[in-house]
Amino acid sequence: MALDIQAVRTAFPALTSGYLYADNAGGSQCLADVVSRISDYLLNTNVQLGADYSFSVTSTNRVASGAEAARELFNAASVDEIAYGSSSTLLVENLARAIEADVHAGEEIIITGEHESNAGPWKRLAARKGAIIKFWSATQLAQYPDNPYAVGLQLDALVPLISSKTRLIAFTACSNILGSVVPVKEIVTAARALASERGARKLEFCVDCVAYAPHRQIDVRAWDVDYCYFSFYKVYGPHTSVLYARAAALENSLSSLGHHFLKIGTKPYKLQPGGPGYELTYACTGVPPYIRSLTPEGTLEAAWAAVAQHEQKLLVPLLNFLQSKASRGVRIVGQEDAGLARVPTVSFVVVGDRAIRSPDVVRPFDAKGNVGIRYGHFYAYTLIDTLSPKVDVDDGVVRISLVHYNTTEEVERIIATLEEVLA
């Protein structure tokens, strides 16, 4: 089922300006319905939760409905597995603090060079506990032997890192630089089997879905992961983030960060010291209905399939153009081909005898003033810093990140400017 792209765009007031938003991996545009819920909450139910008077009951129920919205997008078993926070980085830092007592000196935590939100907290935890950090690095994709920047997270690079001391593996479901979709279920299944075979005491997984959630359906139960998170402001919602923690992990792996006198038990308040932003949590309830509305079936599964189909229409011409400029020194960073294993987040560098610094590629777009793309490391500092041949990490890569409300005509506009820059 194809998306009705004009109907899609009417849901986002910002798009009526004619500005071409192509930095969506840094933050999507916000649904009008989401904004309406923020103002409605603040204007009509802005009271403290948990009291018996009518407005507090309404407010409590509204905030609870925000947990249900996140539960649906995660496909979690219960709202009691959902914690809200101001950012994904803060949520993972809270998770690392809560899991600290159940990580032993000498145990190993495997991280990637992707977004630092799923690396920095684990590095700090390892330093506090005397644990060992191992890096699962992105490695060369065999199908692109002529492009050293065509790299990705591959299972064969993870396998030798798993040992009897492996305690946690933290990785991304989709790279915010490479655009590649990682086969989460396959990786988790293989890693669990290897860890068991090699005698690991306990193995848990923390999956970063920030760059995945705007493009594909999350399924924490099918994936068999313990922790998972994403930012609603990159999925058409307000600036808040959510973390899934499996009920068994809440009970057996995590200590409470809440006030000592609260009877928290296995509730997600273990990971949520203080209250979330009430109006933002309630506003998130506007996201799942919008996604379901994208197709007549009214299901998340059908909607995400239609989104993926539309994304391929955006990806193919952009990737084809960049590949056509290979002789000019353009190198796609990550998978070069379109397909369901790739989202329309496309990064590249211009190297060789006619190299162009990434800021100089972006500058003509900024000068035109009607399109937004960006350059940099995008908090995946380690990934950029370990590319070979070396890339200046401060210049980073040029990144064009599209989502389902972008159009093929907008892609043509981007290509036209790139043609001028790369002439």
> pLDDT value at position 268?
82
Q: Say if residue 282 is in the same domain as residue 396.
A: no
Q: What span, in angstroms and rounded, lies between the C-alpha atoms of 359 and 347? A: 13
Q: What is the residue whose two structure tokens read 């139910």?
A: 45
> pLDDT value at position 322?
98
User: What is the tally of structural domains in the chain?
Assistant: 2
User: Is residue 43 one of the residues assigned to a domain?
Assistant: no
Asked if residue 410 lies in contact with residue 22, where contact means CB atoms within 8 angstroms, the answer is yes
Cα→Cα distances 180→304, 371, 411, Å: 16, 24, 19
> pLDDT value at position 259?
87
Q: Say if residue 64 is in the same domain as residue 115.
A: yes
Report the CATH number that the domain containing residue 72 is assigned in CATH: 3.40.640.10
Q: What span, in angstroms and rounded, lies between the C-alpha atoms of 98 and 78? A: 20
User: Is residue 38 one of the residues assigned to a domain?
Assistant: no
**Token digits of residue 262:** 């609260």
Cα distance from N-terminal residue to C-terminal residue, the chain: 38
Q: Which of 232, 264, 289 is the last residue of a domain?
A: 289
Query: Which of 121, 45, 64, 112 has the alpha carbon at shortest distance from 88?
Result: 121
User: Is residue 41 one of the residues assigned to a domain?
Assistant: no
User: Is residue 182 one of the residues assigned to a domain?
Assistant: yes
Instruction: Return the ∠ at Cα 409 (arms to 404 and 413), rounded to 5°.
Output: 110
Q: Which amino acid is at 376?
A: G
Report the CATH number that the domain containing residue 366 is assigned in CATH: 3.90.1150.10
pTM of the model: 0.97
> pLDDT value at position 321?
98
Q: What are phi and psi of 132, to 5 degrees?
A: -115, 130
Q: Say if residue 232 is in the same domain as residue 305.
A: no
User: HEC states along the chain?
Assistant: CCCCHHHHHHCCHHHHHCCEECEHHHCCCCCHHHHHHHHHHHHHCCCCCCCCCHHHHHHHHHHHHHHHHHHHHHCCCCHHHEEEECCHHHHHHHHHHHCHHHCCCCCEEEEECCCHHHCHHHHHHHHHHCCEEEEECCEECCCCCCCCCCEECCHHHHHHHCCCCEEEEEEECECCCCCEECCHHHHHHHHHHHHHHCCCCCCEEEEECCCCCCCCCCCHHHHCCCEEEEEHHHCCCCCCEEEEECHHHHHHCCCCCCCCCCCCCCCHHHHCCCCCCHHHHHHHHHHHHHHHCCCCCCCHHHHHHHHHHHHHHHHHHHHHHHHHCHHHCEEEECCCCCCCCECCEEEEEECCCCCECHHHHHHHHHHHCCEECEEECCCCHHHHHCCCCCCCCCCCEEEEECCCCCCHHHHHHHHHHHHHHCC
User: Is residue 40 one of the residues assigned to a domain?
Assistant: no
User: Is residue 44 one of the residues assigned to a domain?
Assistant: no
Asked if residue 204 lies in contact with residue 226, where contact means CB atoms within 8 angstroms, the answer is yes
Instruction: Return the ∠ at Cα 334 (arms to 329 and 335), rounded to 5°.
Output: 105
Gyration radius of the chain's alpha carbons = 22
Q: Which of 228, 255, 289 is the last residue of a domain?
A: 289
Q: Say if residue 102 is in the same domain as residue 215.
A: yes
Asked if residue 229 lies in contact with residue 313, where contact means CB atoms within 8 angstroms, the answer is no
Q: What span, in angstroms and rounded, lies between the C-alpha atoms of 321 and 413? A: 12
Q: Say if residue 307 is in the same domain as residue 348.
A: yes
> pLDDT value at position 411?
98
> pLDDT value at position 174?
98
Q: Say if residue 411 is in the same domain as residue 366.
A: yes
User: Is residue 49 one of the residues assigned to a domain?
Assistant: no
User: Is residue 409 one of the residues assigned to a domain?
Assistant: yes
Q: Say if residue 266 is in the same domain as residue 396.
A: no
Q: Say if residue 276 is in the same domain as residue 303.
A: no
Range of the domain at 354: 5-29+298-421
Q: Which of 271, 289, 307 is the last residue of a domain?
A: 289
Q: What span, in angstroms and rounded, lies between the C-alpha atoms of 303 and 296? A: 9
Q: Say if residue 309 is in the same domain as residue 284.
A: no
Q: Say if residue 261 is in the same domain as residue 161.
A: yes
From first to last of the 423 residues of the chain, give the pLDDT tens digit: 789 999 999 999 999 999 999 999 999 999 999 999 999 999 999 999 999 999 999 999 999 999 999 999 999 999 999 999 999 999 999 999 999 999 999 999 999 999 999 999 999 999 999 999 999 999 999 999 999 999 999 999 999 999 999 999 999 999 999 999 999 999 999 999 999 999 999 999 999 999 999 999 999 999 999 999 999 999 999 999 999 999 999 999 999 998 888 877 777 888 998 888 999 999 999 999 999 999 999 999 999 999 999 999 999 999 999 999 999 999 999 999 999 999 999 999 999 999 999 999 999 999 999 999 999 999 999 999 999 999 999 999 999 999 999 999 999 999 999 999 999
Q: What span, in angstroms and rounded, lies between the C-alpha atoms of 231 and 235? A: 7
Q: Say if residue 75 is in the same domain as residue 127.
A: yes
Q: Say if residue 139 is in the same domain as residue 229.
A: yes
